[in-house]
A and B are shown apart, each in its own frame.
Chain A
Amino acid sequence: MNKRKIIEKLMLGVISTLAVISAIPIFAIMFNVYAEGLKHVNLSFLIDLPPPPVGDRVGGIGPALVGTFTLVSLAMVIGGAIGFFTGLYLSEFSHTKLSQYTQMFLQIMVEFPTIIIGLFAYTILVAPIKRFNALAGGFALSIVIIPYIALNVREAYKSIPYTLKEAAFSLGVSAPVAYLRILLSTARRGVLTALLIGMAKVAGETAPLLFTILGTTFTYFGGLDQPINAIPLLIYNFALSPYERWHQVAWGAAAVLLTIILLIFIVSRLIVKEVKL
Protein backbone atom coordinates (compact mmCIF):
# COMPACT_ATOMS: atom_id res chain seq x y z
CA MET A 1 0.00 0.00 0.00
CA ASN A 2 1.30 3.40 -0.85
CA LYS A 3 0.98 6.54 1.24
CA ARG A 4 -2.16 7.84 -0.49
CA LYS A 5 -4.01 4.60 0.14
CA ILE A 6 -3.07 4.67 3.80
CA ILE A 7 -4.24 8.26 4.15
CA GLU A 8 -7.51 7.33 2.43
CA LYS A 9 -8.19 4.47 4.84
CA LEU A 10 -7.24 6.66 7.78
CA MET A 11 -9.44 9.59 6.79
CA LEU A 12 -12.46 7.44 5.92
CA GLY A 13 -12.05 5.90 9.35
CA VAL A 14 -11.91 9.31 11.01
CA ILE A 15 -15.02 10.53 9.17
CA SER A 16 -16.96 7.39 10.02
CA THR A 17 -15.93 7.59 13.66
CA LEU A 18 -16.96 11.24 13.94
CA ALA A 19 -20.28 10.44 12.23
CA VAL A 20 -20.94 7.65 14.69
CA ILE A 21 -19.99 9.91 17.61
CA SER A 22 -22.46 12.55 16.47
CA ALA A 23 -25.25 9.95 16.42
CA ILE A 24 -24.51 8.59 19.91
CA PRO A 25 -26.44 11.32 21.80
CA ILE A 26 -29.80 10.54 20.19
CA PHE A 27 -29.56 6.91 21.26
CA ALA A 28 -28.30 7.88 24.70
CA ILE A 29 -31.17 10.36 25.09
CA MET A 30 -33.82 7.86 24.00
CA PHE A 31 -32.33 5.18 26.21
CA ASN A 32 -32.05 7.42 29.28
CA VAL A 33 -35.49 8.98 28.85
CA TYR A 34 -37.22 5.62 28.52
CA ALA A 35 -35.09 3.92 31.18
CA GLU A 36 -35.72 6.68 33.73
CA GLY A 37 -39.19 7.64 32.58
CA LEU A 38 -41.13 4.54 31.62
CA LYS A 39 -41.11 3.05 35.11
CA HIS A 40 -43.31 5.95 36.27
CA VAL A 41 -45.68 5.93 33.32
CA ASN A 42 -49.01 4.14 33.58
CA LEU A 43 -52.62 5.10 33.03
CA SER A 44 -52.99 6.98 36.32
CA PHE A 45 -49.75 8.87 35.58
CA LEU A 46 -51.42 10.24 32.46
CA ILE A 47 -54.54 11.30 34.35
CA ASP A 48 -53.60 12.33 37.90
CA LEU A 49 -52.63 15.71 39.27
CA PRO A 50 -48.91 16.28 39.89
CA PRO A 51 -47.78 15.03 43.32
CA PRO A 52 -46.72 17.28 46.17
CA PRO A 53 -42.93 17.68 46.30
CA VAL A 54 -42.59 15.31 49.25
CA GLY A 55 -44.61 12.32 50.35
CA ASP A 56 -45.66 9.04 48.89
CA ARG A 57 -48.34 10.04 46.42
CA VAL A 58 -47.26 8.99 42.94
CA GLY A 59 -49.24 11.59 41.02
CA GLY A 60 -49.20 12.28 37.32
CA ILE A 61 -49.25 14.79 34.53
CA GLY A 62 -52.98 14.98 33.73
CA PRO A 63 -53.34 18.78 33.64
CA ALA A 64 -50.18 19.20 31.58
CA LEU A 65 -51.36 16.60 29.07
CA VAL A 66 -54.71 18.35 28.73
CA GLY A 67 -52.88 21.66 28.47
CA THR A 68 -50.53 20.48 25.75
CA PHE A 69 -53.49 19.08 23.82
CA THR A 70 -55.34 22.41 24.17
CA LEU A 71 -52.33 24.52 23.20
CA VAL A 72 -51.40 22.36 20.22
CA SER A 73 -55.00 22.48 18.97
CA LEU A 74 -55.10 26.26 19.36
CA ALA A 75 -51.78 26.64 17.55
CA MET A 76 -52.83 24.31 14.75
CA VAL A 77 -56.15 26.11 14.24
CA ILE A 78 -54.75 29.67 14.34
CA GLY A 79 -51.17 29.19 13.16
CA GLY A 80 -51.98 26.26 10.89
CA ALA A 81 -54.66 28.17 9.02
CA ILE A 82 -52.71 31.41 8.66
CA GLY A 83 -49.55 29.51 7.76
CA PHE A 84 -51.28 27.33 5.18
CA PHE A 85 -52.96 30.19 3.34
CA THR A 86 -49.83 32.32 3.54
CA GLY A 87 -47.85 29.46 2.01
CA LEU A 88 -50.45 29.03 -0.72
CA TYR A 89 -50.21 32.74 -1.53
CA LEU A 90 -46.41 32.69 -1.50
CA SER A 91 -46.41 29.87 -4.03
CA GLU A 92 -49.22 30.90 -6.36
CA PHE A 93 -48.82 34.68 -6.34
CA SER A 94 -45.07 34.77 -6.01
CA HIS A 95 -44.76 37.64 -8.47
CA THR A 96 -46.31 40.22 -6.11
CA LYS A 97 -44.21 42.51 -3.93
CA LEU A 98 -46.27 41.41 -0.91
CA SER A 99 -45.29 37.82 -1.56
CA GLN A 100 -41.60 38.61 -1.89
CA TYR A 101 -41.44 40.70 1.28
CA THR A 102 -43.49 38.22 3.28
CA GLN A 103 -41.28 35.37 2.22
CA MET A 104 -38.16 37.23 3.23
CA PHE A 105 -39.65 38.14 6.62
CA LEU A 106 -40.84 34.60 7.25
CA GLN A 107 -37.44 33.17 6.38
CA ILE A 108 -35.94 35.41 9.04
CA MET A 109 -38.67 34.61 11.51
CA VAL A 110 -38.22 30.87 11.16
CA GLU A 111 -34.90 31.35 12.96
CA PHE A 112 -36.26 33.80 15.55
CA PRO A 113 -35.34 32.77 19.08
CA THR A 114 -38.70 31.56 20.34
CA ILE A 115 -38.27 33.24 23.70
CA ILE A 116 -38.67 36.58 21.89
CA ILE A 117 -42.05 35.38 20.67
CA GLY A 118 -42.92 34.51 24.26
CA LEU A 119 -42.11 38.07 25.32
CA PHE A 120 -44.25 39.40 22.49
CA ALA A 121 -47.24 37.26 23.45
CA TYR A 122 -46.80 38.43 27.03
CA THR A 123 -46.93 42.07 25.95
CA ILE A 124 -50.00 41.55 23.79
CA LEU A 125 -52.14 39.07 25.72
CA VAL A 126 -50.91 38.72 29.30
CA ALA A 127 -49.87 42.19 30.46
CA PRO A 128 -53.19 43.90 29.49
CA ILE A 129 -55.39 41.52 31.49
CA LYS A 130 -52.77 40.84 34.17
CA ARG A 131 -53.36 37.09 34.11
CA PHE A 132 -51.48 34.25 32.50
CA ASN A 133 -53.80 32.47 30.11
CA ALA A 134 -54.04 29.58 27.69
CA LEU A 135 -54.88 31.82 24.76
CA ALA A 136 -51.58 33.71 25.09
CA GLY A 137 -49.72 30.39 24.97
CA GLY A 138 -51.68 29.24 21.94
CA PHE A 139 -51.04 32.59 20.28
CA ALA A 140 -47.29 32.39 20.95
CA LEU A 141 -47.13 28.84 19.58
CA SER A 142 -49.11 29.94 16.51
CA ILE A 143 -46.50 32.59 15.77
CA VAL A 144 -43.79 29.98 16.15
CA ILE A 145 -45.27 27.70 13.51
CA ILE A 146 -46.67 30.19 10.99
CA PRO A 147 -43.32 30.57 9.19
CA TYR A 148 -42.59 26.82 9.31
CA ILE A 149 -45.93 25.87 7.85
CA ALA A 150 -46.04 28.73 5.36
CA LEU A 151 -42.61 27.99 3.90
CA ASN A 152 -43.23 24.23 3.70
CA VAL A 153 -46.71 24.61 2.20
CA ARG A 154 -45.15 26.95 -0.34
CA GLU A 155 -42.71 24.19 -1.29
CA ALA A 156 -45.55 21.68 -1.56
CA TYR A 157 -47.59 23.88 -3.91
CA LYS A 158 -44.50 24.90 -5.86
CA SER A 159 -43.76 21.24 -6.57
CA ILE A 160 -47.05 20.74 -8.44
CA PRO A 161 -46.24 20.61 -12.16
CA TYR A 162 -47.35 23.69 -14.05
CA THR A 163 -49.31 21.64 -16.55
CA LEU A 164 -51.44 20.24 -13.74
CA LYS A 165 -52.24 23.72 -12.50
CA GLU A 166 -53.26 24.78 -16.01
CA ALA A 167 -55.41 21.69 -16.35
CA ALA A 168 -57.14 22.43 -13.04
CA PHE A 169 -58.01 25.95 -14.09
CA SER A 170 -59.05 24.90 -17.58
CA LEU A 171 -61.91 22.99 -15.98
CA GLY A 172 -63.53 26.35 -15.45
CA VAL A 173 -63.86 25.93 -11.69
CA SER A 174 -63.44 28.84 -9.35
CA ALA A 175 -60.09 29.61 -7.72
CA PRO A 176 -60.99 28.24 -4.28
CA VAL A 177 -62.09 24.93 -5.79
CA ALA A 178 -58.98 24.74 -7.95
CA TYR A 179 -56.58 25.49 -5.13
CA LEU A 180 -58.29 23.80 -2.21
CA ARG A 181 -59.85 20.73 -3.81
CA ILE A 182 -57.99 19.79 -6.97
CA LEU A 183 -54.48 21.06 -6.33
CA LEU A 184 -54.55 20.41 -2.59
CA SER A 185 -55.17 16.72 -3.26
CA THR A 186 -52.01 16.71 -5.37
CA ALA A 187 -49.97 18.57 -2.79
CA ARG A 188 -51.62 16.92 0.20
CA ARG A 189 -48.62 14.92 1.31
CA GLY A 190 -46.33 17.91 1.35
CA VAL A 191 -48.99 19.94 3.14
CA LEU A 192 -49.70 17.19 5.65
CA THR A 193 -46.00 16.78 6.37
CA ALA A 194 -45.70 20.53 6.89
CA LEU A 195 -48.60 20.47 9.36
CA LEU A 196 -47.19 17.44 11.19
CA ILE A 197 -43.71 18.95 11.49
CA GLY A 198 -45.31 22.13 12.80
CA MET A 199 -47.30 20.05 15.29
CA ALA A 200 -44.21 18.21 16.56
CA LYS A 201 -42.49 21.55 16.95
CA VAL A 202 -45.21 23.20 19.00
CA ALA A 203 -45.82 20.10 21.10
CA GLY A 204 -42.24 20.37 22.36
CA GLU A 205 -41.79 24.13 22.54
CA THR A 206 -41.10 25.51 26.00
CA ALA A 207 -39.65 29.00 25.69
CA PRO A 208 -42.81 30.69 24.31
CA LEU A 209 -44.80 29.25 27.21
CA LEU A 210 -42.58 30.49 30.03
CA PHE A 211 -44.29 33.86 30.38
CA THR A 212 -47.68 33.10 28.91
CA ILE A 213 -49.39 30.16 30.61
CA LEU A 214 -47.83 30.14 34.10
CA GLY A 215 -47.90 26.35 34.23
CA THR A 216 -48.03 25.67 37.95
CA THR A 217 -51.79 25.28 38.13
CA PHE A 218 -53.38 22.16 39.53
CA THR A 219 -56.58 22.38 37.56
CA TYR A 220 -57.17 20.57 34.28
CA PHE A 221 -58.83 23.27 32.23
CA GLY A 222 -60.55 26.43 33.39
CA GLY A 223 -61.16 28.25 30.13
CA LEU A 224 -58.94 29.90 27.56
CA ASP A 225 -58.50 33.00 29.72
CA GLN A 226 -57.12 30.98 32.63
CA PRO A 227 -53.60 29.65 33.35
CA ILE A 228 -52.85 26.19 32.03
CA ASN A 229 -49.94 23.77 32.10
CA ALA A 230 -48.05 22.01 29.31
CA ILE A 231 -45.80 18.95 29.29
CA PRO A 232 -42.60 20.72 28.15
CA LEU A 233 -43.09 23.47 30.73
CA LEU A 234 -43.76 20.89 33.44
CA ILE A 235 -40.53 19.08 32.55
CA TYR A 236 -38.62 22.36 32.71
CA ASN A 237 -40.09 23.45 36.04
CA PHE A 238 -39.89 20.06 37.73
CA ALA A 239 -36.37 19.29 36.49
CA LEU A 240 -35.09 22.56 37.96
CA SER A 241 -36.87 22.01 41.27
CA PRO A 242 -34.86 20.58 44.16
CA TYR A 243 -37.28 17.68 44.77
CA GLU A 244 -36.36 14.13 43.81
CA ARG A 245 -40.07 13.25 43.46
CA TRP A 246 -40.58 15.97 40.88
CA HIS A 247 -37.48 14.91 38.95
CA GLN A 248 -39.07 11.49 38.52
CA VAL A 249 -42.27 13.09 37.24
CA ALA A 250 -40.16 15.15 34.81
CA TRP A 251 -38.55 11.96 33.44
CA GLY A 252 -41.95 10.31 33.11
CA ALA A 253 -43.32 13.37 31.32
CA ALA A 254 -40.28 13.36 29.04
CA ALA A 255 -40.99 9.74 28.11
CA VAL A 256 -44.57 10.73 27.22
CA LEU A 257 -43.42 13.76 25.21
CA LEU A 258 -40.75 11.75 23.41
CA THR A 259 -43.35 9.15 22.47
CA ILE A 260 -45.67 11.84 21.08
CA ILE A 261 -42.83 13.34 19.02
CA LEU A 262 -41.70 9.91 17.79
CA LEU A 263 -45.24 9.02 16.68
CA ILE A 264 -45.67 12.29 14.77
CA PHE A 265 -42.22 11.85 13.24
CA ILE A 266 -42.89 8.28 12.10
CA VAL A 267 -46.26 9.21 10.59
CA SER A 268 -44.69 12.12 8.71
CA ARG A 269 -41.94 9.82 7.37
CA LEU A 270 -44.47 7.24 6.21
CA ILE A 271 -46.29 9.96 4.29
CA VAL A 272 -43.08 11.12 2.63
CA LYS A 273 -42.18 7.55 1.74
CA GLU A 274 -45.54 7.07 0.07
CA VAL A 275 -44.98 10.10 -2.11
CA LYS A 276 -41.75 8.67 -3.52
CA LEU A 277 -43.27 5.37 -4.65
Chain B
Amino acid sequence: MSSGKIFYNTLTFLVFISLFIVIAVVISLSVTSYPIFLRDGLFFISKSVWNPVKEEYGILPALLGTLITSTLAVGLATPLAISLAVFSAEIVPPRFRALINNISDLMASLPSVIYGLWGLFILAPILNEYIMIPLHRYLGFIPLFSTKPVPTNLFTASVLLAIMIVPFASSIIREAYSAIPYYLKEAAYSIGLTRWEVIKIAIGYVKSAIFAGLFLALGRAMGETVAVAMVVGNIFNLPKSLFDMGYTIPSLIANQFPNAEAYNYMVPALYGGALMLFLIGLVINFFGLYLIKKVMIKS
Protein backbone atom coordinates (compact mmCIF):
# COMPACT_ATOMS: atom_id res chain seq x y z
CA MET B 1 0.00 0.00 0.00
CA SER B 2 1.34 3.43 -0.87
CA SER B 3 1.71 6.06 1.79
CA GLY B 4 -1.07 8.03 0.09
CA LYS B 5 -3.44 5.12 0.46
CA ILE B 6 -2.52 4.60 4.11
CA PHE B 7 -2.99 8.31 4.73
CA TYR B 8 -6.39 8.30 3.08
CA ASN B 9 -7.50 5.25 5.04
CA THR B 10 -6.34 6.76 8.34
CA LEU B 11 -8.25 9.94 7.53
CA THR B 12 -11.38 7.98 6.66
CA PHE B 13 -11.07 6.02 9.89
CA LEU B 14 -10.84 9.20 11.98
CA VAL B 15 -13.78 10.74 10.14
CA PHE B 16 -15.78 7.61 10.91
CA ILE B 17 -14.91 8.05 14.57
CA SER B 18 -16.27 11.62 14.52
CA LEU B 19 -19.42 10.48 12.79
CA PHE B 20 -19.75 7.48 15.08
CA ILE B 21 -19.51 9.62 18.22
CA VAL B 22 -22.39 11.84 17.13
CA ILE B 23 -24.56 8.83 16.39
CA ALA B 24 -23.50 7.08 19.60
CA VAL B 25 -24.55 10.11 21.68
CA VAL B 26 -28.05 10.01 20.19
CA ILE B 27 -28.31 6.23 20.58
CA SER B 28 -27.14 6.33 24.18
CA LEU B 29 -29.71 9.02 25.01
CA SER B 30 -32.52 7.06 23.36
CA VAL B 31 -31.60 3.69 24.87
CA THR B 32 -31.10 4.97 28.40
CA SER B 33 -34.29 7.05 28.42
CA TYR B 34 -36.40 4.31 26.81
CA PRO B 35 -37.76 2.85 30.12
CA ILE B 36 -39.33 6.11 31.23
CA PHE B 37 -41.14 6.62 27.91
CA LEU B 38 -42.20 2.97 27.97
CA ARG B 39 -43.65 3.36 31.46
CA ASP B 40 -45.16 6.84 31.34
CA GLY B 41 -45.45 7.65 27.64
CA LEU B 42 -46.19 11.30 27.02
CA PHE B 43 -47.25 11.85 30.63
CA PHE B 44 -43.55 12.13 31.26
CA ILE B 45 -43.65 15.42 29.40
CA SER B 46 -47.09 16.68 30.37
CA LYS B 47 -47.03 16.02 34.12
CA SER B 48 -45.59 18.27 36.80
CA VAL B 49 -44.16 15.98 39.45
CA TRP B 50 -40.70 15.12 40.72
CA ASN B 51 -40.97 12.53 43.43
CA PRO B 52 -38.06 10.09 43.39
CA VAL B 53 -39.32 8.23 46.46
CA LYS B 54 -42.51 7.27 44.63
CA GLU B 55 -40.59 7.05 41.33
CA GLU B 56 -42.85 9.66 39.73
CA TYR B 57 -41.33 11.95 37.16
CA GLY B 58 -42.95 14.55 34.89
CA ILE B 59 -40.68 17.24 33.51
CA LEU B 60 -43.25 19.81 32.42
CA PRO B 61 -41.96 22.56 34.78
CA ALA B 62 -38.38 22.15 33.56
CA LEU B 63 -39.55 22.11 29.95
CA LEU B 64 -41.57 25.28 30.52
CA GLY B 65 -38.67 26.83 32.41
CA THR B 66 -36.38 26.14 29.45
CA LEU B 67 -38.84 27.62 26.97
CA ILE B 68 -39.61 30.68 29.12
CA THR B 69 -36.01 31.59 29.92
CA SER B 70 -34.69 31.01 26.40
CA THR B 71 -37.46 32.88 24.56
CA LEU B 72 -37.37 35.78 27.02
CA ALA B 73 -33.59 35.86 26.63
CA VAL B 74 -33.85 36.00 22.85
CA GLY B 75 -36.53 38.66 23.15
CA LEU B 76 -34.28 40.82 25.31
CA ALA B 77 -31.22 40.09 23.17
CA THR B 78 -32.79 40.85 19.77
CA PRO B 79 -32.66 44.67 19.81
CA LEU B 80 -29.23 44.59 21.45
CA ALA B 81 -27.74 42.09 19.00
CA ILE B 82 -29.06 43.93 15.94
CA SER B 83 -27.90 47.29 17.31
CA LEU B 84 -24.45 45.97 18.13
CA ALA B 85 -24.07 44.51 14.63
CA VAL B 86 -25.30 47.66 12.89
CA PHE B 87 -23.23 49.86 15.18
CA SER B 88 -20.05 47.96 14.37
CA ALA B 89 -20.71 47.66 10.63
CA GLU B 90 -22.22 51.06 9.92
CA ILE B 91 -21.93 53.71 12.59
CA VAL B 92 -18.58 53.35 14.32
CA PRO B 93 -15.48 54.90 12.62
CA PRO B 94 -13.67 52.12 10.72
CA ARG B 95 -10.56 52.24 12.89
CA PHE B 96 -12.56 51.26 15.99
CA ARG B 97 -14.43 48.51 14.17
CA ALA B 98 -11.86 45.76 14.86
CA LEU B 99 -11.76 46.72 18.53
CA ILE B 100 -15.53 46.44 18.90
CA ASN B 101 -15.66 43.15 17.04
CA ASN B 102 -12.88 41.80 19.25
CA ILE B 103 -14.73 42.79 22.40
CA SER B 104 -17.87 41.13 21.09
CA ASP B 105 -15.97 37.95 20.17
CA LEU B 106 -14.28 37.90 23.55
CA MET B 107 -17.69 38.06 25.20
CA ALA B 108 -18.80 35.10 23.14
CA SER B 109 -15.83 33.04 24.26
CA LEU B 110 -16.01 33.75 28.01
CA PRO B 111 -16.68 30.54 29.97
CA SER B 112 -20.28 30.24 31.08
CA VAL B 113 -19.21 29.50 34.64
CA ILE B 114 -17.75 33.02 34.85
CA TYR B 115 -21.07 34.43 33.63
CA GLY B 116 -22.73 32.24 36.26
CA LEU B 117 -20.49 33.43 39.08
CA TRP B 118 -21.00 37.05 38.09
CA GLY B 119 -24.72 36.51 37.63
CA LEU B 120 -25.10 34.93 41.03
CA PHE B 121 -23.15 37.43 43.13
CA ILE B 122 -23.37 40.69 41.16
CA LEU B 123 -26.21 40.68 38.62
CA ALA B 124 -28.88 38.89 40.67
CA PRO B 125 -28.83 41.28 43.66
CA ILE B 126 -28.83 44.32 41.35
CA LEU B 127 -31.73 43.01 39.27
CA ASN B 128 -33.62 42.14 42.42
CA GLU B 129 -33.15 45.52 44.03
CA TYR B 130 -33.67 47.82 41.05
CA ILE B 131 -35.91 45.93 38.64
CA MET B 132 -37.71 43.01 40.14
CA ILE B 133 -38.83 44.49 43.45
CA PRO B 134 -40.12 47.74 41.84
CA LEU B 135 -41.88 45.75 39.10
CA HIS B 136 -43.51 43.56 41.71
CA ARG B 137 -44.47 46.50 43.89
CA TYR B 138 -46.08 48.62 41.18
CA LEU B 139 -47.15 46.05 38.60
CA GLY B 140 -47.67 43.04 40.86
CA PHE B 141 -51.30 42.77 39.76
CA ILE B 142 -50.04 41.50 36.38
CA PRO B 143 -49.65 37.70 36.75
CA LEU B 144 -46.16 37.84 35.18
CA PHE B 145 -44.81 39.83 38.13
CA SER B 146 -47.05 38.43 40.84
CA THR B 147 -44.51 36.43 42.86
CA LYS B 148 -42.52 38.21 45.55
CA PRO B 149 -39.07 38.16 43.96
CA VAL B 150 -35.92 36.55 45.33
CA PRO B 151 -32.56 37.25 43.60
CA THR B 152 -32.31 33.92 41.78
CA ASN B 153 -35.29 33.06 39.60
CA LEU B 154 -36.43 32.56 36.00
CA PHE B 155 -36.17 36.28 35.23
CA THR B 156 -32.55 36.55 36.40
CA ALA B 157 -31.68 33.47 34.36
CA SER B 158 -33.31 35.04 31.28
CA VAL B 159 -31.39 38.29 31.66
CA LEU B 160 -28.10 36.45 32.15
CA LEU B 161 -28.82 34.28 29.10
CA ALA B 162 -29.63 37.38 27.08
CA ILE B 163 -26.27 38.90 28.03
CA MET B 164 -24.54 35.67 27.00
CA ILE B 165 -26.20 35.26 23.59
CA VAL B 166 -26.03 38.88 22.39
CA PRO B 167 -22.43 38.63 21.08
CA PHE B 168 -23.10 35.28 19.43
CA ALA B 169 -26.24 36.40 17.60
CA SER B 170 -24.66 39.74 16.81
CA SER B 171 -21.60 38.18 15.15
CA ILE B 172 -23.82 36.21 12.74
CA ILE B 173 -25.84 39.32 11.90
CA ARG B 174 -22.66 41.39 11.56
CA GLU B 175 -21.18 38.98 9.05
CA ALA B 176 -24.25 39.11 6.85
CA TYR B 177 -24.53 42.86 7.23
CA SER B 178 -20.95 43.50 6.12
CA ALA B 179 -21.54 41.28 3.11
CA ILE B 180 -24.29 43.53 1.74
CA PRO B 181 -23.10 44.72 -1.70
CA TYR B 182 -21.88 48.31 -1.42
CA TYR B 183 -23.70 49.35 -4.61
CA LEU B 184 -26.97 48.55 -2.88
CA LYS B 185 -26.22 51.05 -0.15
CA GLU B 186 -24.82 53.56 -2.64
CA ALA B 187 -28.00 53.31 -4.67
CA ALA B 188 -30.02 53.94 -1.53
CA TYR B 189 -27.93 56.98 -0.58
CA SER B 190 -28.06 58.31 -4.14
CA ILE B 191 -31.81 58.78 -4.00
CA GLY B 192 -31.35 61.00 -0.96
CA LEU B 193 -32.17 58.60 1.85
CA THR B 194 -30.84 59.34 5.32
CA ARG B 195 -28.48 56.97 7.07
CA TRP B 196 -31.25 55.55 9.22
CA GLU B 197 -33.39 54.88 6.16
CA VAL B 198 -30.48 53.07 4.52
CA ILE B 199 -29.96 51.03 7.68
CA LYS B 200 -33.64 50.10 7.61
CA ILE B 201 -33.28 48.83 4.03
CA ALA B 202 -30.07 46.99 4.90
CA ILE B 203 -31.71 45.31 7.90
CA GLY B 204 -34.52 44.18 5.64
CA TYR B 205 -31.92 42.80 3.26
CA VAL B 206 -30.30 40.63 5.94
CA LYS B 207 -33.58 39.56 7.55
CA SER B 208 -32.82 35.87 7.10
CA ALA B 209 -29.43 36.24 8.75
CA ILE B 210 -31.04 37.99 11.69
CA PHE B 211 -33.53 35.17 12.11
CA ALA B 212 -30.76 32.61 11.70
CA GLY B 213 -28.66 34.29 14.39
CA LEU B 214 -31.60 34.50 16.75
CA PHE B 215 -32.59 30.88 16.19
CA LEU B 216 -29.09 29.60 16.80
CA ALA B 217 -28.93 31.82 19.89
CA LEU B 218 -32.23 30.32 21.06
CA GLY B 219 -30.72 26.84 20.71
CA ARG B 220 -27.71 27.93 22.74
CA ALA B 221 -29.85 29.49 25.45
CA MET B 222 -31.85 26.29 25.81
CA GLY B 223 -28.78 24.14 26.25
CA GLU B 224 -26.87 26.44 28.60
CA THR B 225 -26.28 24.59 31.83
CA VAL B 226 -24.03 25.95 34.54
CA ALA B 227 -24.73 29.66 34.21
CA VAL B 228 -28.47 28.98 34.41
CA ALA B 229 -28.13 26.40 37.18
CA MET B 230 -26.37 29.06 39.25
CA VAL B 231 -29.11 31.71 38.98
CA VAL B 232 -32.42 30.00 38.18
CA GLY B 233 -33.30 28.99 41.73
CA ASN B 234 -33.50 25.25 41.18
CA ILE B 235 -36.93 24.60 42.61
CA PHE B 236 -39.27 22.14 40.98
CA ASN B 237 -42.68 23.72 40.59
CA LEU B 238 -44.84 24.86 37.73
CA PRO B 239 -43.86 28.51 37.08
CA LYS B 240 -46.73 30.93 37.63
CA SER B 241 -44.77 34.15 37.17
CA LEU B 242 -41.40 35.29 35.86
CA PHE B 243 -40.20 35.82 39.41
CA ASP B 244 -40.74 32.19 40.43
CA MET B 245 -37.71 30.13 41.19
CA GLY B 246 -37.63 27.32 38.68
CA TYR B 247 -35.69 24.76 36.73
CA THR B 248 -34.61 24.33 33.15
CA ILE B 249 -33.91 20.91 31.70
CA PRO B 250 -30.11 21.29 31.76
CA SER B 251 -30.12 22.68 35.31
CA LEU B 252 -32.47 19.88 36.40
CA ILE B 253 -29.99 17.35 35.03
CA ALA B 254 -27.05 19.13 36.61
CA ASN B 255 -28.72 19.18 40.02
CA GLN B 256 -30.47 15.84 40.13
CA PHE B 257 -28.10 13.54 38.30
CA PRO B 258 -25.56 13.16 41.12
CA ASN B 259 -28.09 11.20 43.20
CA ALA B 260 -30.03 9.66 40.32
CA GLU B 261 -28.39 6.23 40.50
CA ALA B 262 -30.10 5.61 43.84
CA TYR B 263 -33.49 5.35 42.14
CA ASN B 264 -34.85 3.07 39.44
CA TYR B 265 -36.34 5.54 37.00
CA MET B 266 -34.52 8.79 37.72
CA VAL B 267 -31.63 8.11 35.33
CA PRO B 268 -34.03 7.30 32.46
CA ALA B 269 -36.09 10.37 33.39
CA LEU B 270 -33.07 12.69 33.23
CA TYR B 271 -31.86 11.13 29.97
CA GLY B 272 -35.41 11.56 28.70
CA GLY B 273 -35.17 15.25 29.53
CA ALA B 274 -31.86 15.41 27.70
CA LEU B 275 -33.43 13.67 24.71
CA MET B 276 -36.26 16.21 24.63
CA LEU B 277 -33.72 19.01 24.84
CA PHE B 278 -31.76 17.44 22.02
CA LEU B 279 -34.83 17.07 19.79
CA ILE B 280 -36.03 20.64 20.36
CA GLY B 281 -32.49 21.91 19.78
CA LEU B 282 -32.20 19.82 16.63
CA VAL B 283 -35.29 21.40 15.06
CA ILE B 284 -34.19 24.91 16.03
CA ASN B 285 -30.63 24.46 14.80
CA PHE B 286 -31.73 22.85 11.56
CA PHE B 287 -33.92 25.83 10.90
CA GLY B 288 -31.13 28.24 11.82
CA LEU B 289 -28.60 26.48 9.58
CA TYR B 290 -31.13 26.38 6.75
CA LEU B 291 -31.59 30.15 7.02
CA ILE B 292 -27.82 30.70 7.06
CA LYS B 293 -27.44 28.58 3.95
CA LYS B 294 -30.08 30.66 2.25
CA VAL B 295 -28.20 33.85 3.16
CA MET B 296 -24.93 32.44 1.88
CA ILE B 297 -26.42 31.46 -1.46
CA LYS B 298 -27.90 34.94 -1.79
CA SER B 299 -24.59 36.69 -1.21
Instruction: List chain A positions with a Cβ less than 8 A from chain B.
Output: 4-5, 7-8, 11-12, 14-19, 21-23, 25-26, 28-29, 32-33, 36, 81-83, 85-86, 88-90, 93, 98-99, 101-102, 105-109, 111-117, 119-120, 122-124, 143, 146-147, 150, 174-176, 179, 197, 200-201, 203-207, 210-211, 232, 235-236, 239-240, 247, 250-251, 254, 257-258, 261-262, 265, 269
Contact B7–A116 (Cβ < 8 Å): no
State the CA gap A122–B254 with chains docked (Å): 13
Which residues of B from 56 to 102 have beta carbons under 8 Å from A? 79-81, 83-84, 86-88, 91, 100, 102
Q: Which 9 A-B pairs have the closest CB atoms?
A: A204-B111, A113-B223, A19-B87, A18-B83, A175-B4, A22-B80, A207-B225, A8-B194, A8-B196
Contact flags B8-38 to A (C-beta < 8 A → 1, else 0): 1011101111110111110011001000000
State the CA gap A203–B109 with chains docked (Å): 11
Given known A-B contacts A19-B88, A113-B250, A120-B29, A205 and B114 have beta carbons under 8 A apart: no
Contact A123–B28 (Cβ < 8 Å): yes
Q: Among B11, B23, B104, B219, point to the contact of A85 (Cβ < 8 A).
A: B11
Contact B17–A211 (Cβ < 8 Å): no
State the CA gap A111–B277 with chains docked (Å): 12
Complex interface: stretch among B46-54, B127-135, B281-289? B281-289
Which partner residue on chain A sits nearest B16 by CB separation?
A: A98
State the CA gap A250–B106 with chains docked (Å): 21
Q: Among A109, A113, A232, A265, point to the contact of B109 (Cβ < 8 A).
A: A265
List 14 extra interface pairs beyond A26-B110, A150-B18, CB under 8 A.
A14-B83, A15-B86, A15-B87, A16-B91, A81-B14, A90-B15, A108-B286, A108-B289, A113-B281, A119-B271, A119-B274, A174-B4, A175-B8, A261-B110
Rounded to whole Å, the gap between the CB of A107 and the closest CB of chain B is: 6
Contact B7–A175 (Cβ < 8 Å): yes
Q: Among B14, B88, B166, B253, point to the contact of A119 (Cβ < 8 A).
A: B253
Residues of B within 8 A of A12 (CB): 91, 195-196
Given known A-B contacts A29-B114, A89-B12, A120-B29, A106 and B7 have beta carbons under 8 A apart: no
Chain B interface size range = 35 or more
Q: Among B109, B122, B225, B230, point to the contact of A115 (Cβ < 8 A).
A: B225
Contact B166–A22 (Cβ < 8 Å): yes
Contact B116–A211 (Cβ < 8 Å): no
Contact A113–B118 (Cβ < 8 Å): no
In this complex, the member of A117, A119, A262, A265 whose beta carbon has the largest number of chain B beta carbons within 10 angstroms is A119
Q: B247 interface residue, CB < 8 Å from A?
A: no
Rounded to whole Å, the gap between the CB of A97 and the closest CB of chain B is: 11
Q: B184 interface residue, CB < 8 Å from A?
A: no
Q: Among B91, B194, B277, point to the contact of A113 (Cβ < 8 A).
A: B277
Q: Among B3, B110, B121, B254, point to the contact of A175 (Cβ < 8 A).
A: B3
Given known A-B contacts A19-B84, A112-B281, A174-B3, A239 and B15 have beta carbons under 8 A apart: no
State the CA gap A116–B253 with chains docked (Å): 9
State the CA gap A244–B208 with chains docked (Å): 48
Contact A89–B15 (Cβ < 8 Å): yes
Q: Among A17, A98, A111, A147, point to the contact of B216 (Cβ < 8 A).
A: A111
Contact B114–A33 (Cβ < 8 Å): yes
Rounded to whole Å, the gap between the CB of A72 and the closest CB of chain B is: 12
Contact B118–A206 (Cβ < 8 Å): no
Contact B7–A98 (Cβ < 8 Å): no
